Amino acid sequence: MTPHSPRHRTPISRWRLALLRPILRYSYSRDAYVLRVIGNSRGPVYQVRVTTDAGAGSQPTA
């Protein structure tokens, strides 16, 4: 048995998550999405990419 090492979290956009939703489930212990059925031990671990709207409010008004 090998020691457990945490899997890398891959950022994913909300629209991709919506497309992959049928094959993913949310893991509360990881606070991320994993593959259904085999996600406990294999496969990618996805977290929703958090985007900030850096341009909001930065436009000068005339």
Q: What is the pLDDT of residues 26-53, one digit of tens each?
A: 999 889 999 999 888 888 899 998 776 6
**Mean of pLDDT over the chain:** 82
Burial (CB count <10 Å: 0-12, 13-18, 19+), residue 25: exposed
pLDDT surpassing 50 at residue 1:
no
| pLDDT of res. 59 | 56
Nearest to 7 by CA among 37, 32, 36: 32
Model pTM score: 0.68
11/39: higher pLDDT: 11
| pLDDT of res. 19 | 96
Length of the chain as a residue count: 62
